[in-house]
Structure 1
Amino acid sequence: MVEQGELAKEQAHFDAAWDAREKSRQLLQEAWQAAGGPNKVRALVKRSGEQKAKQLGGPEDAVAFGRFDRDGETLYIGNHCIANDERDLLVINWQADAANDYYAATVQDPLGVERKRTYSTTRNQIDTYTDTLFEHLARSLDELTGPEQWGVDDAILDDLEAGRTGLMRDIVQTIHASQNDLIRSPIDQLLIVQGGPGTGKTAIALHRISWLLFNHRDRLQPADCLVVGPNPTFTRYIREVLPGLGDEDVRHADLRSLGPQRGVGTAENPRVAQLKGDARMADLLKNALWQRVGLAERAERLTVGVEGLGPTFEREEIERELQRLRNGTYNDGRVAFRRFLQDQVARRSRSEVTAATIDNALERVWPQATPQAFLRDLLASRERMLAAAGAVERDFTVSEIRSLLRAPQEKLSLEAWSDADIALLDELDYLLNGRSQTYGHVVVDEAQDLSPMQLRSIRRRSRNGSMTVVGDIAQSTGPWARDSWDDVCEGLESDLPTTVEELSLGYRVPRQVYEFAAQLLPIAAPLVTPPRVVRDGPEDPTLTETASEDLALVAVRAARHYAGNGQFVGLICCDELREAVVEQFRALGISYSDASTGEIGKSINLASPIEAKGLEFDAVVILDPSGIVRSSERGHRLLYVALTRTTRFLTVVHDGVSMPIGPVSPGSEPDETPAVLTIASPPEAVTNGQPDGAVTRKKKTAPSLHAPSPRAVDRFTRSAAREIAAEVRDALQPGAYRSFLLALSEELGIDLGRND
């Protein structure tokens, strides 16, 4: 219970800290007036002062959100450090080492902390506060609820109940002990965080950047950090978190912008997209580019200028020089070869040879190239593709090359580049010009779907391999869907250690919703362990059956109902029904935002399951779950993604099947739904001060037995496997694959649990 005398005392401290902060802000904003020197210097001082003042927070911001007491000392925690004129610390910032125990203290291991206090404020006015008294809790440990023993306090639960706004918020006030451990882990590593829906992996990655920037100022600046998301919609969703923490200049990018040409998200056949993402494409592009360098096949010599008048170079001399210059980038070699021609012409020619004449000869031997023009022309030429593919160690088949071919647009500016094309353009840009801008730390979100070529593109942007990579294998879909993180580790590997961590507390998705969605896991991701669910939602999912022709209308009405009650809404459907939904929005005069354009509104948002990845809404309406499953080979995972986007309400609009899981094998019932663990029961054990299960840590291991490394399979075996797999897909329902593999292993005498 809040004591009024204590509340007044706390408010006095907040007021003193506010006064001290405003004095500091004013001094920083006025510092330029005392600066000497030219106007440019004064302007620079002014910009710097304004930026530092902004990092202290605005006058409307509360100075602190919590405090903790230890050994007679009281420390207040806020977003920024605040000191008075006597240099007394009134508030310490959350990134400081001294603030660690505020987050790390648990009932099982309080780390000497006696009291943890969390404030609820309106601007800088304290409305109320809640206390966690660790000694008292430890004496009555057996009487605590599961959430209390897990360290999920009222502040966390209140934050989870808060409405969404369309932009991700920071979680500084509610960082859980298990999240804190990952945020503050060492910088010099490749950290991969596996986490189910609502486990906070995106928030961890963003707050980790802020923590690294504060604690490694000697080697890391905001502009030296890169955050890569899957699409523009996701990038817009998370864009305000880091500026809100005072880190303004961190670069945000999506996969479509990681190259010399921005992609437009052109739809592409999944098989073609998979081929373009294959690591073999790196060798094909390299071969194709360097095959353009050299004299024409039947040419015996190169004449600069008119035959008989200009100097002549024999083939052997030209090839010797070309071989010498092939070690660097394409364009560096081209510049060096032009210099060679220029020098030799000056020595051999008695008449003046113009620069244009030299450039003409250069173009015949070492043609100019840009990534866009080169890729367009290459994909249009069967002969060039076959020639380049033939030199790849792991050969392409003729049918694969045929599927990659496409007719070029008349104008290069009209080429519509797909997401898979962007990684190819980036690879060509690297071959032509060398490495682009690099970063001291790279964060990659929704990394479970990245192709090997996209992994190469991201790895090139890391200066030394320091990265934080987050995602969920159960949400891995698309051409490069995977069942483990092994090949991601391999694609991003550097000399730094690799650590894989697993989050197992699910904060955002309500228990009722997750129990419904988890029915998909035996089919969608049988090797994934469901997270422990922190809280109940306000109600069970609503399952609405209607005629097929009315699906879009009923779904739009459900979205309107939620929006009318002030909810932030996501309406998720497959592409097949998108046009019907848009027609209903227009017919009913309902405004909405379209995630396919990168737009996120504050009311109703229309998205596909892919576009909804990483987003969260107060209420979600799923339209035609069976259609979502049919839309992709990984349709069950797409539906799992869609169902787990809500923090409160879920409505599923269907025409007879609300959960399309089907039988596991003909004539049988589905596997038992995996138990959805809650935190109603206390943790079984304590490890390193953390409740067992809050985070599972493991060092990088050998490739999974369930997913052998492609390099371990010879070409003939892989070809045979493709043919058999095609027959199996045609003969069986997707839900029967696992049972078929188990039966096949028994027939062949193979134990899938052993490394035979």
Structure 2
Amino acid sequence: MPAHQLAPDIPDAPADVLADEQAHLAESREALRAMRAHAQSLSADAAGDWVSQQILQGLLDQRVAALADHPDTPLFFGRLDRSGGDELPTTIYVGRRHVHDGTSRPLVIDWRAPVSRAFYQASPAEPMGVVRRRRFGYHGGALTAYEDEPLAEGGQIGPSRILTEEIERPRTGPMRDIVATIQPDQDEIVRSALAQTVCVQGAPGTGKTAVGLHRAAYLLFTHRERLARSGVMIVGPNRAFLSYISSVLPALGEVKVDQTTVAGLLGEHAAPEDPEVAAVKGDARMAKVLDRALWLHVVKPEEGVVFTKGAYRYRVADHEVREIVASLRGTTRYAPGRAALAQRLAHQVLVRMEQRGESPDDRVQDAVARSKPVRQLVDAVWPKLTPEQVLFRLLSEPEFLARAAKADLSPEEQERLLWAKPYRSWKSAKWSAADAALLDELADLMERTPSLGHLVVDEAQDLSEMQLRALGRRCRNGSATVLGDLAQGTTPWSATTWEAVLTHLGQEGEVTELTLGFRVPREVLDYAARLLPSIAPGLAAPRSLRPGAGSLSVRESGEDGEDREGGDVLAAVRDALGREGSIGVIAPDALVPEVAATLAGAGLAHAVLSPDSAEEHRLLVVPATLAKGLEYDHVIVVEPADIVEAEPRGLARLYVVLTRAVTTLTVVHRKPLPAQLTA
């Protein structure tokens, strides 16, 4: 149905519909400005004390930030004309946030409100009380078109051109929200209950990352007070990815959500390590090894304790001390157990004081617990430790590792774990990324890790079992949204089933599979899917709604060598520069400097993506290992064979790289392509 026209079966349609809608947008923007001005006028001085004033001011600042208008997008993207029969308005505008006028009349309804669900779910077969759904096209922040879908009984609707154009619209810069294009199956995931953990297996281009972010926004809207206390966190694979998604939640009015990486959460440890060693450290069996290693430090008491007060000596016999230690061991975490041991010993002293006719109170018990004799015994029996001290000993002392490992690790695995060149002390040790998860496990054995209300984990298939355990501790009293694609697993320890991922997270949840893509052209997706039988034979091949005829180009360089290949890369880049949208030149990590030099030599302005930042540039050179989760309108892949050969799961890495394209994919190669791509 062409834009700017109403459905033919809607009578008395005014000729200036778009002008009326533009006027409503202008009124809504003015109302939002008034709401923000009102929030800015409020003062925290009404709070009684300074602390309360600071808390209230922080809440007011968040409110003001959430009411900021984004001039490049309209306040609403859809409209519902309802049949009525309830207290709700018959006409509802659906947008990114709620907007009301000075009389509290709703001008825009938040897309997360229950009534807005019909915008995503209503159909002629199930109209949900909606007579007509209107979608708006826009450019920048201005409405430019509209399109109506009759949903009354017997109505017929076809593919939405506005919806298709919005999905296919070229993009530059960070990822944007998809509230205008959420599909029914995506909406079901987004609106899942807070208590429900959801695991999304999503093929490339199915919008799984966007679904996870929008679910976080939905839960914050629906359970504002509860999640304000417990918190929501987004965990991504690297900082470049976090920078790419950083604008989505603020655009939806959610300005206070922590976004981090696993390294940012567990510790920025990056000492180089053999992948085989990292794989052993990442295995869930290490949890038992660490537990034993920690509790091996608690030794059997050989002596009692004597506390002297004035002329009196109060003795707790050695067998009593052993009974206290035995009762505490295994029933509490390490640090609380150590504190409890001191208090139990002090309590026994107080019992003896009372037997002498004294009347000691809690202050006396605390003084006894802090006394030198009690402290010396506690330090000898239940020493004060840090996670680093325990792990250092485990990786440095073969006999101690063998005692802790028992039968859970083979002799060969134990030998692999031991440092070839031990450090002098735990303070000088250089920890690896795999060590970070082990240190976190030990920290939780010592002191309980606080739990969040909800955790969103993206690219979860690449996390080790110990990393998953660490994340699971962060949502043990809450729920999680787990996102990923088993076919895109690129680490030696990548998951093979989502059931295993959920088990190590300590969560029970349903696995939902998204196979229908909206971003990656079908021609590109089908080409990349040739790799699936080799990397994830159990997964269904993804499908794309976009045919993308002519979107794929494979260019083989001649035998005259690197200059010819560089020329093909330049030709592909220049061709992409003549089109609209972002450009990502994805190369094997080792070839990134060479590719960047080629572009610089040709005078083409560009930036190189690094692990810690997402460069804002239309033309980016992207190391293959950083491409996951990102997308570009035009992707140029350099030398696929080198990408495959660079790591054990190189075919999976190539699958990731090939599916970053939104509009066109150009493959440039001199070496023979992997056999799977030529079959």
Corresponding residue of 2:386: 370
- Residue 290 of structure 2 aligns with an amino acid whose one-letter code is L
Equivalent in the alignment of 1:721: none
**Aligned partner letter, 2:186:** Q
CA-to-partner distance for each residue in 1:287-346, whole Å, 9 max, x for gaps? 011111216xxx9558999xxxx9998865554332222221111222233456678899
Corresponding position of 2:289: 284
Match of 2:310 in 1: none
TM-score, length basis structure 2: 0.84
| Bigger mean CA deviation after superposition, 245-254 or 581-590 | 581-590
Q: What amino acid maps onto 2:341 in structure 1?
A: F
Alpha-carbon RMSD: 3.4
Change (3 A) 1:606 1:429: farther
2:172 aligned residue: 165
> Paired residue for 1:190?
197
2:33 to 22, 45, 57: 22
Conservation of the 8 A alpha-carbon contact between 1:194 and 1:500: yes
Match of 1:67 in 2: 79
Q: Is the 8 A contact 2:79 2:91 kept in 1?
A: yes
Q: How does 1:110-509 map to 2 (within 5 A)?
A: 110-121=127-138, 125-134=142-151, 138-139=155-156, 144=158, 148=159, 153-221=160-228, 224-259=231-266, 261-264=267-270, 266-294=271-299, 301=303, 316=319, 318-326=321-329, 327-339=331-343, 359=375, 362-390=378-406, 395-406=408-419, 407-410=421-424, 412=426, 415-434=429-448, 436-494=449-507, 498-509=509-520
- Cα distance in 2 for partners of 1:385, 1:644 equals 44
1:127 Cα offset (Å) = 2.4
Please give the alpha-carbon distance, in whole angstroms, between the structure 1 residues aligned to 2:36 and 2:136.
Answer: 24
> Which blocks of at least 5 consecutive residues in structure 2 are unaligned?
6-14, 85-89, 308-312, 354-367
- Which residue is 1:82 aligned to? 99
TM-superposed deviation, 1:46: 4.6
Quote the Cα distance in structure 2 between the aligned partners of 1:115 and 1:468. Answer: 33
CA distance in 1, matches of 2:408, 2:452: 34
> Take 2:474 and 2:57, find their aligned partners in 1: how far apart are those partners?
33
1:568 and 2:575 matched: no
Is the CA contact 1:555–1:623 (under 8 Å) kept in the aligned structure 2? no
Q: Deviations over 1:168-205 (max 9, x none)?
A: 11111111122112111222222111110010111111
2:325 and 2:626 mapped to 1: Cα distance? 47
**Deviation string, structure 1 residues 436-488 (Cα, Å, up to 9, x no partner):** 22111221111122222122112211143522111112112312233332212
Q: Aligned partner of 2:78: which letter?
A: G
* Contact 2:316/2:348, CA 8 A, preserved across alignment: no
CA, structure 1 residues 512+319, in 2 after alignment: closer, same or farther (shift >3 Å)? same
Letter paired with 1:157: T
Deviation at 1:583, TM superposition (A): 5.5
With over 3 angstroms needed to count, the CA separation of the structure-2 counterparts of 1:512 and 1:376, relative to structure 1, is same
Shift of the 130–137 alpha-carbon distance from structure 1 to 2, 3 Å rule, reads: farther
Determine the C-alpha separation between the residues in 2 that align with 1:621 and 1:171: 26
Native 8 Å contact 2:343 2:369 kept in 1: no
Which residue is equivalent to 1:695? none
Query: In the TM superposition, what is the alpha-carbon distance from 1:48 to its structure 2 partner?
Result: 3.1
- Relative to 1, partners in 2 of residues 1:262 and 1:302: Cα closer, same or farther, differing over 3 Å? farther
Q: CA deviation at 1:426?
A: 0.9
Go from structure 1 to structure 2 and tell me whether the alpha carbon gap of 1:567 and 1:62 turns closer, same or farther (over 3 Å shift): closer
Q: Determine helix, strand or coil for the equivalent of 1:595.
A: coil
Residue type of the alignment partner of 1:219: R
1:655 counterpart residue number: 670
The one-letter amino acid paired with 1:529 is: A
Q: What letter corresponds to residue 500 of structure 1 in structure 2?
A: V
Deviation at 1:96, TM superposition (A): 0.5
Answer whether contact 1:543 1:658 (CA < 8 A) is retained.
Answer: no
* Cα offsets for 1:238-295 (capped at 9, x unmatched): 2221122111212222111333x3333x443232222111111000001011111216
- Structure 1 residues 611, 551: CA separation in 2 closer, same or farther (over 3 Å shift)? farther
What is the DSSP-based 3-state SS (H/G/I as helix, E as strand, rest coil) of the residue aligned with 2:546? Answer: coil
Report the residue type matching 1:246 in the other structure: G
- Report the Cα distance in structure 1 between the residues aligned to 2:293 and 2:602, rounded to whole angstroms: 54
State the SS of the aligned residue for 1:253. strand
User: Is the contact between residue 321 and residue 345 of structure 2 (CA under 8 Å) also seen in structure 1?
Assistant: no
Q: Which amino acid aligns with 1:439?
A: L
Q: Contact 1:510–1:536 at 8 Å: present in 2 too?
A: yes
* Count of matched residue pairs: 636
Secondary structure, aligned partner of 2:120: helix
- Counterparts of 1:281 and 1:645, CA distance in 2: 35
Q: Is the 8 A contact 1:377 1:408 kept in 2?
A: no
- 1:498-518 CA deviation, whole Å, 9 max, x = no partner? 211111210111122112111
- What secondary structure sits across from 2:149 in the alignment? strand
- Separation of aligned partners in 2, 1:462 and 1:239: 22
Q: Distance in 2 between matches of 1:591 and 1:17?
A: 40
What corresponds to 2:651 in structure 1?
636
Which moves more between the two structures, 115-124 or 66-75? Answer: 115-124
Distance (Å, rounded) in 2 between the aligned partners of 1:645 and 1:166: 15
Matches of 1:353 and 1:429 in 2, distance apart? Answer: 24
User: Which of the numbers 22, 26, 33 marks the counterpart of 1:11?
Assistant: 22
Distance change >3 Å, CA 511–CA 87, structure 1 → 2: same
Q: Does the 8 Å CA contact 1:57/1:80 hold for their aligned counterparts?
A: no
Counterpart in 2 of 1:740? none
Deviation at 1:389, TM superposition (A): 0.6
Partner-residue secondary structure (3-state), 2:554: strand
Q: Distance in 2 between matches of 1:591 and 1:74?
A: 48
Alignment check: 8 A CA contact 2:32 2:100 kept? yes
Please state how far the C-alpha of 1:67 moved relative to its aligned partner. 0.5
Would you say the 8 A contact 1:538–1:649 is kept in 2?
Answer: no
Q: Distance in 2 between matches of 1:88 and 1:586?
A: 57
User: TM (normalized to structure 1)?
Assistant: 0.76
Is 169-178 or 7-16 further displaced after alignment?
A: 7-16
Q: Distance in 1 between matches of 2:502 and 2:55?
A: 43
Give the 5 Å matches for 1:575-614: 575-578=589-592, 580-581=594-595, 584=598, 591-614=606-629
- Cα distance change of structure 1 residues 64 and 316 upon mapping to structure 2, 3 Å threshold: same
Distance change >3 Å, CA 77–CA 388, structure 1 → 2:
same
Q: Percent identity?
A: 36
Mapped contact 2:569–2:638 kept (Cα < 8 A): no
Letter in 1 for 2:609: D
Residues of 2 paired with 1:353 and 1:217: CA distance? 43
Q: CA deviation at 1:640?
A: 0.7
What SS does the aligned partner of 2:539 have? coil
Q: Are residues 353 and 462 of structure 1, via their aligned partners in 2, closer, same or farther at CA, if it must alter by over 3 Å?
A: closer
Is the 1:504–1:532 contact (alpha carbons within 8 Å) kept by the matching residues of 2? yes
Report if the CA contact (8 A) 1:629-1:636 is conserved.
yes
Cα deviation 1:697-746 (Å, max 9, x = unaligned) = xxxxxxxxxxxxxxxxxxxxxxxxxxxxxxxxxxxxxxxxxxxxxxxxxx
One-letter code of the match for 1:269?
D
Distance 1:371 1:403 in 2: 21
SS of 2:27 mapped into structure 1: helix
